[in-house]
Structure 1
Amino acid sequence: MPVNPDLVGQEFEPTAAYLVGREKVREFARATFAEDPQHHDPEAARALGYADVVAPPTFAMVIQDLTIHQLLNSPGSGIELQNLIHAEQKFRYSRPIVAGDELTATLSVTGLRAMGPATMINSETMIVDANGDHVVTAISVLLAGEASA
């Protein structure tokens, strides 16, 4: 079954709030070789005007991943994980993610495009803080091969 064209325009339910932890930020920074002091040292981050350590820009993927799971688990989507490649990723930030943030994410499928036997799935995940203020929009392109019969 090919990717269901009815996914276009679909907006999924907001995720449960994700509390960004200092150690998670540090772990992610180490894993991605983000060595700037603001990612590891609260005092260095405070000297830059932040309340706590600042997450590297790609940390937004941790939050976005919750929404991607909603898409993949959507009944009748026609998407199978074993036939999926993460093809592209972009971020539009209003402000950095900081330890202590409580973030909620909402994914919208913005488009589908046939690519031979595969389909490109465009999506945007809007991530907001506990006040509902925009933090970052994560834009992804997934390449889904046809699901097996």
Structure 2
Amino acid sequence: MKSLLVALVACLALVGLPSAAWAHQVETFFTLGDQLEFQSVLGGEEPFAGATVTIHAPNQPSRPWQTLMTDDEGRFAFLPDEAIPGNWEVAIESEDVSHADYWVVPVGAKGIIYDAISLDDSLDRHYIIAAATLMPWLMAVVSGLGWTWWKKRR
């Protein structure tokens, strides 16, 4: 009986993994020249072309400071206003928001703090999708194990 449960759990875990979503995760690279330049790709190869880029200034987080689109190579550039210090938020999203990348660009008294630019993975939709995909399977396994335990106790 135990080996059957272990096999069932292993099969459910393999079926429930969202490998296709992880295979097309957005990767973004940046450099600082006259502007802060970003390039995003899907799965390490395909340019993230035509993605919507929304930039929020620290002093107005609910209203976009600037909205752009990535070009055919998945690139875009902007220069934060140095008069507005704080964490600038950059969202790079596909039209249906199934693929996205989120960045924080800190600006101090002397401009962009290049070494502190970071990926904001707290909003990464791939992890949310993975949790939503695995939750029904996990609930089924836990329910099955609970039912088996209850039957043995009776």
TM-score, structure 1 as length reference: 0.28
> If you compute each CA radius of gyration, which structure gives the higher value, 1 or 2?
2
The structure where helix makes up a greater share of residues is 2
TM-score, structure 2 as length reference: 0.27
Highest RCO, 1 vs 2 (Cα 8 Å, sep ≥ 6):
1
